[in-house]
Chain A
Amino acid sequence: MKRKLILAALIFLCFILQTTLFKMSSFLIVSPNLLLIISCAIGFMQGKKEGIMAGFFAGIITDLTYGRLFGRYALIYLLIGWFCGRYANIYFDEDLKVPLALISGSDLVFNLYVYLTGFLFRGRLDIGFYLKNIMLPEMIWTFLVGIVLYRILYVINHDLVEKEKEGRQSLWIRE
């Protein structure tokens, strides 16, 4: 329970940062997607169910504040969380390649989804432009920020899991 609350607080923090500090400069400069990194990381480190819930939570805050169609972001984030959770069985300590590949790939899928649901049907057909000016820059940004953020999340997750294990082994404070 405690672990879930901490993770929820982390997602919330990412959302706050993503809408304020990372957006300080301008609309014209592409910013990284922290919510995607954290949904991916939680799915990868803890499994499908956690990924789904983390993604859903990340998406629902976006929907509640900035969404145009309620549930639109929740759906894609939870699918991404679930997808990354499928790779939880190959989660090894200290490995960065797989999670970063998952994060970058998911970011591209996420933006394609936003494009398909929000732009294509309004007749904005120039996908090459959007790919070059939004999707790829965001992917690179998310990748770079992901290197740092995933590390931090990894340490936090490690601590949480260790604490939970200790708690379980002790007879007195068993859940």
Chain B
Amino acid sequence: MKKKLHFSIRSRHLLAVMVILCIGLMLLSFSSEKAAKPLRSGAGVVVIPFQKGVNRIGTWFSEQFAGFQSVKALSEENAELRAQVDDLTAKNSELAQMQGELNRLEALYKLDQEYPEYNKVAAEVISKDPGNWYSTFVINKGSEDGIKKDMNVLAQGGLIGIVTETGGHWATVRAIIDDTSAISAMASITSETCIVEGSLTSMNNGKIRFQGLRDPDGQVVEGASIVTSNISENYVSGLLIGYVSDISLDSNNLTKSGTLIPAADFRALREVLIITDLKQTRENED
């Protein structure tokens, strides 16, 4: 072993110092949310460009791969025309890629038309939570693009989440299927309110839970749509969350609860729309 000439710390002491540091950081960020804000913004500046780059490469690969599968089928059929097929498929995959993009953007445009009363900005998803416990993701628009905390986020089909944090050109979005998400919602037929909660247990079947729905006349049946309620603090009203999948009376005989299938597609999450109108509340009223 090399004899170290400079000051050397024992691993036991290093462990103690670092553990105390971590706990200190936790207490600090627990007591005030703002304490870690500058650090986080700094980290965003460093990390985001890399994630954007790698993500673009990944997208390119997965799209190339999708094109490749169609090449395979074609070349088996037309072995003698392979040369021609190769030439055509190169163009074909390029077109398929463009077509896929067109379809996605068209769907996004349609979504934009569905809620004409709100102003929206489109953004791309660039990275997702590294663990398997939370459903949060980062998009490529941030405070400098006019994105603010608590703005609602839509994706193909309906509501997908809410902005929880913003940086220069990035923002963190918590998905509605996240275990810590809870939304004040209502059944669009009766306007009776309920709470829609994300949960890991039901997310496994692609569903989210709702509870506390008053429905004395039994009007809310399977397939009924649930939208964000007008009394929600953070969500603007009338955004489609999903459709009731099953519903049952609670043991209190007053309210009903059950699960709903989210309208937004969480599997192929690529482009999202952010509603730039914040819910008007007493605090943010100018």
A interface, over-half SS = helix
Which B-chain residue is minimally distant from A50 (CB atoms)? B11
Q: Among the listed B19, B30, B127, which residue makes an inter-chain contact with A19, where contact means beta carbons less than 8 Å apart?
A: B127
Query: What is the number of residues of chain A that contact chain B, defined by CB distance less than 8 Å?
Result: 57
User: CA–CA, A59 to B25, complex, Å?
Assistant: 12
A62 at the interface (CB under 8 A from B): yes
In residues 12-55 of chain B, which contact A (Cβ within 8 Å)? 14-15, 18-19, 21-26, 28-30, 35-36, 39-40, 42-44, 47, 50-51, 54-55
Chain B 213-246 interface 0/1 with A at a Cβ cutoff of 8 Å (1 = within): 0000000000000000000000000000000000
A139 to chain B, nearest CB (A): 11
A134 at the interface (CB under 8 A from B): yes
User: CA–CA, A130 to B131, complex, Å?
Assistant: 13
Q: Is the CB of B22 within 8 A of A130?
A: no
Q: Is the CB of A64 within 8 A of B130?
A: no
Across-interface contacts of B59 in A (CB, < 8 A): 24
B186 at the interface (CB under 8 A from A): no
Q: Among the listed B18, B136, B203, which residue makes an inter-chain contact with A52, where contact means beta carbons less than 8 Å apart?
A: B18
Which A-chain residue is minimally distant from B48 (CB atoms)? A65
Q: Is the CB of B267 within 8 A of A28?
A: yes
Across-interface contacts of A71 in B (CB, < 8 A): 21-26, 28-29
Interface-facing stretch out of A30-38, A93-101, A143-151, A152-160: A30-38
Across-interface contacts of B54 in A (CB, < 8 A): 16-17, 20-21
Q: Is the CB of A138 within 8 A of B132?
A: yes
Which B-chain residue is minimally distant from A164 (CB atoms)? B2
Which B-chain residue is minimally distant from A165 (CB atoms)? B2
A23 at the interface (CB under 8 A from B): yes
A125 to chain B, nearest CB (A): 10
Across-interface contacts of B35 in A (CB, < 8 A): 70
Q: Is the CB of B132 within 8 A of A31?
A: yes
B277 at the interface (CB under 8 A from A): no
Q: Is the CB of A33 within 8 A of B130?
A: yes
User: CA–CA, A78 to B133, complex, Å?
Assistant: 20
A109 to chain B, nearest CB (A): 14
Chain A 7-33 interface 0/1 with B at a Cβ cutoff of 8 Å (1 = within): 000001001111111011111101101
Q: Is the CB of A65 within 8 A of B50?
A: no
Across-interface contacts of A26 in B (CB, < 8 A): 266-269
Across-interface contacts of A168 in B (CB, < 8 A): 2
Q: Is the CB of B133 within 8 A of A114?
A: yes
Across-interface contacts of A44 in B (CB, < 8 A): none
B180 at the interface (CB under 8 A from A): yes
User: CA–CA, A114 to B134, complex, Å?
Assistant: 10
Chain A contacts to B: CB under 8 angstroms: 12, 15-21, 23-28, 30-31, 33, 35, 47-49, 52-53, 56, 59, 61-66, 68-72, 74-75, 78-79, 82, 85, 111, 114-115, 118-119, 122, 124, 126, 129-130, 133-134, 137-138, 168
Q: Pick the 4 closest A-B CB pairs, nearest first.
A: A71-B25, A70-B29, A64-B43, A48-B11
A-B contact pairs, 21 of them (CB 8 A): A16-B50, A18-B130, A19-B129, A20-B126, A20-B128, A23-B127, A23-B128, A26-B266, A28-B206, A35-B130, A48-B15, A52-B18, A64-B36, A64-B42, A68-B180, A70-B28, A72-B22, A111-B132, A114-B133, A126-B201, A134-B132
